[in-house]
Amino acid sequence: MAYGLGIDCGTTHTAAAITHDGSVEVLRLGSRRAELPSLVFVPADGPVLVGDAAARRGETDPGRLTREFKRRIGDPVPILAGGAPFSAHALTARMLEHVLRAAVAGQGSPPSAVVLTCPANWGPYKRDLLMQAARLADLPPVTLRTEPEAAVIEYAAGSRVAEGDVIAVYDLGGGTFDAAVLRRTAGSFEVLGQPEGIEQLGGMDFDEAVFEHVVSKLPADTLSAADDPATMAALARLRRDCVEAKEALSDDTEVLIPVALPQMHTRIRLTRSEFEAMIRPALTETVGATRRALRSAGVSADEVTSFLLSGGSSRIPLVSQLLSTEFRRPVVLDPHPEHSIALGAARVSLLAQGNSPLPQGKASAASRQGSASAAPTQGIASAASPQAGASAGPSRASDGPSKASAGPSKASAGPSRASAGPSQGRASVGPSHGDQRQGAGGEPAPGAAVHVPEGGAAPIKAVAKASPDRAAEFESPVLLTRQGLDRSAAGAVAPPRATIKAAPARRRLLQIIAAAISVLVIAGAAVYIIRRLTADGGVQAAPPSGQASSAPAAPACGFTDDFTGADLDAQWERTRPDSDATVADGALTLAAPEGSDIYEDKIGAPMVLRSQTGDFQLETELTATPHQFYQGAGLVLWSSQQTYVRLELGWGDVRAIAFEYRNGGKHIKLHPPFKAGPNAVRTNADQVILQLRRVGDTVDARWRRPDETAYTDLGTIDVNLPDTVKVGLSVLNRAQSQNEPEDFSATFEKASLSC
């Protein structure tokens, strides 16, 4: 069976993934975890050991254990293991051999394609040494890709990354840091500028900081017998406990690290704030490197669609906090940062199997905003009338030379601006709906979206710009009917303009007729636009004289509700009329009956909703004191029981800002309110401002305290939302984990929406 293999040979861990029949999965390498420790043990006799086996043997004989050799690739000084010299790439080859054996054992045959990753800032010398390691490991032909490329390809495979989107990758692994800026192209990604990196910085340095912190708390003579075998084994266990403590601090605010040395047993307390103080200077350096990568790419932070966190150490909450504060852009953490590079490398191996590693046909972020897809048809785009079902938002064509569209473009019913640059040999036929380049013979190019009005069209005035020396040939206006356009699209050759000359009197008559027709066309178009706007809820047509208008004027887009008065505005729809909803003193208080939730099939939470179409920003200011699992209150975007988004001030195991959603599959907790999950955004605030912003199928979330001015970004998700969704407020009160039922309510001081 043909399959592809992707390998991420990291400083502290090595991960791999395989792909076959278009599916990608992590290859299990270790005995306890899918990834394998990047360790090589060279015994006095017998085979070389790698991974978990090497770690076990190295506890009692550390002189034969090698680690961190990836950092030494390119260093001519050999690494000693048991007195024998080894080059760093030779030790790397041992890791690659193990990965190959694991793949063959699981799949029954060698892979048909292998993709190996390396840091983006590695030069030709180090890359060549890595390829030598692949040859020493007897791998099949290998393709080399950078780690940021692989990470962003894996992210794009599961998220909507549109062509033209710019992604900044922040890759903080076990031993190295990479920052790279990439732009989505038609088939893959291109690296912009020069990637930046810090080769001697990663999670292992943070582990060492924790270890040194613990040692500093012990009596001075505790490690006087450090060469004793029992003490060495105890120190090895202590190092492992320090690593686990560091990882636990991503979810908890403090940990107790056990110390079990031969001469003493104790526990050392470490808080998250203490840990962050240790690593903040190093993380500040990574932010500076990211800034330099953006500058090299010629990209400002505002142009970045999102910052993608990759590498296991990017789970540290301080990382996303520093990036959000510095760049004010959405920060996205891959659900499996330890495996994302290997999974992305495996997806690249799909190319060798004749498949694309990325979903195709995605429109740019700009075209997604405020537009709806229209099916392509044969013919030439008509500017006489807007297309039914298209968006009412304006569309802008390119200001420079046109480029062929990679996928179907989206029509717009609003005004558009034609290209200000060269037209690539085409006459402009009314306003352009994006680039619709024709192929040979006048046929639309493959993938170009061309739209034809239903039921034919009135004559369209085609204005051709002539060069000065041919002005006489274009004196008479030329009217093309629908048949004339179809003949042009079919490749018919129009008669030379010189044959259309007329006598002066006849020419004057033709000009009068053309002017009259132009007036009729403009008047008809105006009537059509007014009718469409009326039908779409825009400008209302004036009623006949003496008659009252039966239709109310359409409201402007957006709303602000300060909950003044004594009743809830009639625009709000209540999903639980049996629950209390009280408007008083300029606030709405919603009560949540016990057992109410928004979680997969448990949909009973009280919500107040109103319909909203297109892109928007929804915000609320609320006060709540949730204090059991699970109580929460906040914003909701509601499409169905299978598709929704939640942003809440909630309480599970900790008080936190929860950002959760469902997109047709499982309920996903991007930022959960409990210790067991990663990325908890903790707060002791009772009053918060929450914000959800939708652009197409992309939703990002932010929050802040009322006394703060800067928002904290919570990340970006892709949800298949319809054009019109329900938006509003919700409260939840689902007692679990043996909690006794308790009353819960939240007070919303304000709710607003802007378009």
For 473-504, how does the pLDDT look when each residue is reduced to its tens digit (9 = 90+)? 333 232 322 233 233 333 333 333 333 333 44
607 in a structural domain: yes
Alpha carbon 622 to its chain centroid, in Å, reads 28
* Token pair recorded at residue 634: 């906040």
User: How far is the C-alpha of 36 from the C-alpha of 95, rounded, in Å?
Assistant: 9
Q: Which residues contact 108 (CB under 8 A, 6 or more apart)?
A: 1
188 in a structural domain: yes
Cβ(153)–Cβ(24) under 8 Å?
no
383 in a structural domain: no
Q: Within 13 Å and on the Cβ side, how many CA atoms surround 460?
A: 21
Q: Within 13 Å and on the Cβ side, how many CA atoms surround 542?
A: 3
Which ranges of 339-447 would DSSP assign to H, the alpha helix? 340-348, 365-368
Of 353, 383, 413, the domain-final residue? 353
User: How far is the C-alpha of 301 from the C-alpha of 191, rounded, in Å?
Assistant: 16
Provide the CATH number for the domain around residue 648: 2.60.120.200
Assign 686 to helix, strand or coil: coil
**What's the maximum distance between 2 C-alpha atoms anywhere in the chain?**
116
Residues forming beta bridges with residue 607, ordered by sequence position: 730
Residues forming beta bridges with residue 266, ordered by sequence position: 259
Provide the CATH number for the domain around residue 159: 3.30.420.40
The residue type found at 199 is E
User: How far is the C-alpha of 356 from the C-alpha of 423, rounded, in Å?
Assistant: 32
341 in a structural domain: yes
Residues forming beta bridges with residue 582, ordered by sequence position: 589
Of 330, 353, 376, the domain-final residue? 353
The residue type found at 727 is V
Identify the domain containing residue 151 by its residue range. Answer: 4-201+278-353
Q: Which residue has the tokens 């892709």?
A: 718
304 in a structural domain: yes
pLDDT at 135: 94
Please list the rounded mean pLDDT of every run of 10 residues in the chain (755 residues).
90 91 86 86 90 87 89 90 91 95 91 92 91 94 90 83 91 89 85 86 91 88 71 85 91 90 87 93 93 93 92 90 92 82 89 57 37 31 34 36 36 36 34 34 32 32 33 30 30 36 46 60 55 43 39 60 88 89 92 88 90 93 90 94 94 90 89 78 92 92 90 89 93 74 90 92
pLDDT at 738: 56
pLDDT at 95: 95
User: How far is the C-alpha of 754 from the C-alpha of 731, rounded, in Å?
Assistant: 22
User: How far is the C-alpha of 5 from the C-alpha of 345, rounded, in Å?
Assistant: 8
Question: Based on the structure, what is the number of domains in the chain?
Answer: 2
748 in a structural domain: yes
What separation in angstroms does the CA of 62 have from each of 52, 57, 77, 255, 312? Answer: 14, 8, 20, 28, 25
pLDDT at 326: 92
Of 353, 382, 398, the domain-final residue? 353
489 in a structural domain: no
177 in a structural domain: yes
Alpha carbon 553 to its chain centroid, in Å, reads 39
Q: Which residues contact 396 (CB under 8 A, 6 or more apart)?
A: 416, 417
With CA atoms as reference, report the closest residue to 130 among 146, 118, 145, 140. 118
pLDDT at 270: 93
